[in-house]
Structure 1
Amino acid sequence: MITFADRLNTVEEYYFSRKLREVALLKSQGKPIINLGIGSPDMEPPARVISAINDSMKDAVAHKYQSYQGLPELREAMTEFYMQHYGVGLSPLTEVLPLMGSKEGIMHISMAFLNPGDEVLIPNPGYPTYSSVTKLVGAVPVFYDLVADNDWCPDLVALEKSDLSKVKIMWVSYPHMPTGATASNKVFENIIAFAKRHNILVINDNPYSFVLNDYPRSILKYKDAKEVCLELNSLSKTFNMAGWRVGMVLGKQEYINAILKVKSNMDSGMFYGIQIGAIEALKCSKMWFTSLNSVYEERRQKVWELARALNCTYDINATGLFVWAKLPQAFKSVEFIDKVLKEHSIFIAPGTIFGSNGEGYIRFSLCAPLEDLQDAISRVTRVAIEQ
């Protein structure tokens, strides 16, 4: 009998991969499902990006293998973007590596830095991929609590009371997914100091900093950050390019070179046209963000209305592509979203898929047009009136 690798016993199929099959089945049965569970932008990229990829098809090198490090022009555009919007100076030659989406980077970084038995600090709640990738490479997840009373930021004093001797990596994500919390300058400075004291590599996963957020920040801006930090970023949410799979990892040359050793053995370069389109996206003016956020602000107002109709509460100061909402006390997250799916044909993500501290919360995506959001509100309020 052919058996599977033991590492598969440590992980499950990604929640959304499994749940979306159920949603698709309901749709095939004629259910009018409104999907507010996934953060997949439904709007188009900038028009100049589409034009650029179309024009690139005529280039002589368009269909050849590309550099493992990406086009020099792409790396230049990425570092210029970081200087313009974050005030962070980076070398396009040595301190940035384009990725086929930042999710790929989570695996590459883990393979480059972790040995079996190493421990990894993972936020609870947080992006589930941090934990699954940690397990796949044979390392050990160590979850640290994020709670509303501490503004969803790590309690570093509590962490320092634990045994950190085996910890190699710490994942942070600000603006935070799923809660939308932001980190102050002081929070970033404290995280960097903590990492220096314990010789821990911190990776800030930063794909949401331009969505409904007036103060985009990079952890690399702060003193001594490059010694102990990397940052992941992505064009998926910022420029509506989720399906294009364009991300980047930025930081110290030594760390970037280690990641490149892994990446260069796992792919043969990003498609040329996508790189050309990405370059154009990164050159967009601030008017792009203003226009994008005007749409998301309208949608967020509707999602807040939907949350209230479901008797949920939320933080109006949160940022990002989602609304993180607290349930009425009597409900559990999975039970609640299944009830809403069954009674109203609305799919919302349960907070527990992001960790145990997500119990009692649900997450709404803003990636749905206003008419769908109004329809969702009408369905909920209509049932409430009928009852």
Structure 2
Amino acid sequence: MKGFANRINSVEEYYFSAKLREVNQLIAEGKPVINLGIGSPDLAPDRSVIDALKNTAENAQAHGYQSYQGIPELRIAMASFYHREFGVELVPNKEILPLMGSKEGIMHISMAFLNPGDQVLIPNPGYPTYTSVTRLLEAEPIFYSMDLEQKGRPNLEELAQKDLSKVKLMWINYPHMPTGAAGSMEILTDLVAFAQKHAIILVNDNPYSHILNPEPLSVLSIPGGKDVALELNSLSKTFNMPGWRVGMLCGRADFVDAVLKVKSNMDSGMFLGLQKGAIAALSLGRNWFADQNEIYTNRRKLVWKLADLLGLSYDTQSTGLFVWCKVNGEKSPEELVDWLLYEKNIFITPGKIFGSEGNNYVRFSLCMPEFKILEAINRIKP
């Protein structure tokens, strides 16, 4: 055996891939672990979504290979969703590419645009996959911080003083994971102008757009945004379909076409039943979002109580599926995470996995029923 590819030395196994093995082992040993670590919605999709999947699966003609671009009806449903929710006009057969979850889109986009030695601007803290994919492709991550007091605005003035000649992509993410920073039209406008000036492609990763967020935003709605930006979106969080692996890439036709060249060599299309279920989900109205957000609002209030008991501080104006908390006590974040897991059977996420700016933080997920969060509170109470 001649050894593994050098590129795997640049990354480690994804944190949750490894940590959840440990958590599941504790559960297998009989430990009553409450998982407040991972953002996998525990709620079910709408009944119409499940019915669409079942009805399609019963059709004998539905099980063959599918188009690499998804069926026309799915792309039309995605375009209608973007028009209705963000006021963005998209040409279904040119400016939309269905994906098997937006996580694969991060790899496909990076493969379509990055050469070894290119640089990528990545938020710190931020989703770890932006960094790992960049390194796997032998490009260089350049980290930028955000002002959480200004809804997560990057310090673009400071970035503009750097040599940006090798920067090809800039990852942005509003509502931001893990901090919950909401972003704003003003921030997106500044980012589009920054990308235009420095010939950088913006990629907005937007899976939390409708979760506890009163003003869903798309970078493609900004004047000039479609010239310099792509946007990823997903049905995983918004429609409680994480295991279905349905996402979308939207934006400029030649950008999308470049990504399709990569994707078409990586898979053989999405099962028709998943596509039909996605169409049903995308047609759901505002009542769906309101009902989901009522549940998440109640859960978040309980997580805030849990954080208060632990002496943590947090921003009550944050958005999205998580609560980002600063650790203020005698325990370090890692000590707190271990104490909760091994002494109280509660799993939360250390902020350090999201970058150096997360070193003093921990993250709670809202993907757990209220009675479980109440049980966690009772375990902490003196």
The reply to whether TM is greater than 0.5 is yes
> What is the aligned partner in structure 2 of residue 307 from structure 1?
307
Contact 2:311-2:329 within 8 A present in 1 as well: no
1:347 alignment counterpart: 347
Cα deviation, residue 148, structure 1: 3.2
Q: TM-score, normalised by structure 1?
A: 0.97
Question: Which residue matches 2:95?
Answer: 95
CA offset digits 1:211-267 (Å, max 9, x no partner): 111110101000000111000000000000000000000000000000000000000
> 1:147 touches 1:357 (CA, 8 Å); kept in 2?
no
Please give the secondary structure, in 2, of the residue aligned with 1:111. Answer: helix
Aligned partners of 1:321 and 1:365 also within 8 Å: yes
- Partner-residue secondary structure (3-state), 2:153: coil
Tell me how far apart the structure 2 counterparts of residues 350 and 150 of structure 1 sit (CA, whole Å). 24
Q: Partner letter of residue 76 of structure 1?
A: I
Residue-by-residue CA offset, 1:43-63 (whole Å, 9 max, x unaligned): 100000001111112334310
Aligned 8 A contact 1:332 1:359 in 2: no
- Measure the CA separation in 1 of the matches of 2:41 and 2:58: 28
- Can you list the C-alpha shifts for 1:66-122, whole angstroms capped at 9, x where unaligned? 000001000000000000011100000100000000000000000000000000000
Supply the AA of the counterpart residue of 1:80. Answer: S
- Note the C-alpha offset of 1:2: 3.1
The residue number in structure 1 matching 2:336 is 336
Residue 154 of structure 2 aligns to a residue whose secondary structure is coil
Distance in 1 of aligned mates of 2:39 and 2:290: 19
- 1:71-86 equivalences under 5 Å are 71-86=71-86
Tell me which amino acid in the other structure corresponds to 1:145: S
Moved more, 336-345 or 231-240: 336-345
Give me the whole-angstrom Cα distance separating, in 2, the residues matched to 1:376 and 1:351.
Answer: 20
Q: Which residue of 2 aligns with 1:175?
A: 175
CA distance in 2, matches of 1:166, 1:331: 41
Partners of 2:77 and 2:282 within 8 A in 1: yes
CA distance in 2, matches of 1:285, 1:351: 35
Partner of 1:239: 239
Q: Does 1:65 align with 2:99?
A: no
Secondary structure (helix, strand or coil) at the match of 2:348 reads strand
- Normalization by structure 2: what TM-score? 0.98
* Cα offsets for 1:275-316 (capped at 9, x unmatched): 000000000011111111111111111101111011111111
Structure 1 unmatched ranges of 5 or more: none
Q: Does 1:121 align with 2:121?
A: yes
On the 8 A contact 2:174/2:182 being kept in 1, the answer is yes
Give the AA of the match of 2:285.
S
- How far off its partner does 1:150 sit? 4.4
Deviation, structure 1 residue 326:
1.0
Query: CA contact under 8 A between 2:147 and 2:155: conserved in structure 1?
Result: no
Contact 2:118 2:140 in 1 (8 A): yes
| Rounded Cα–Cα distance in structure 2 between residues aligned with 1:342 and 1:58 | 46
Match of 1:48?
48
CA distance in 2, matches of 1:215, 1:147: 19
- SS class of match (1:368): coil
- 1:326-356 Cα offsets, whole Å, 9 max, x none, are 1115443222211111221100001111000
- Kept after mapping to 2: 8 A contact 1:119/1:142: yes
Once residues 177 and 48 of structure 2 are traced to their aligned partners in structure 1, the CA distance between those partners, rounded to angstroms, is 29
The question of whether the paired residues in 2 share the 8 Å contact of 1:331 and 1:360 is answered with no
* SS across alignment from 1:306: helix
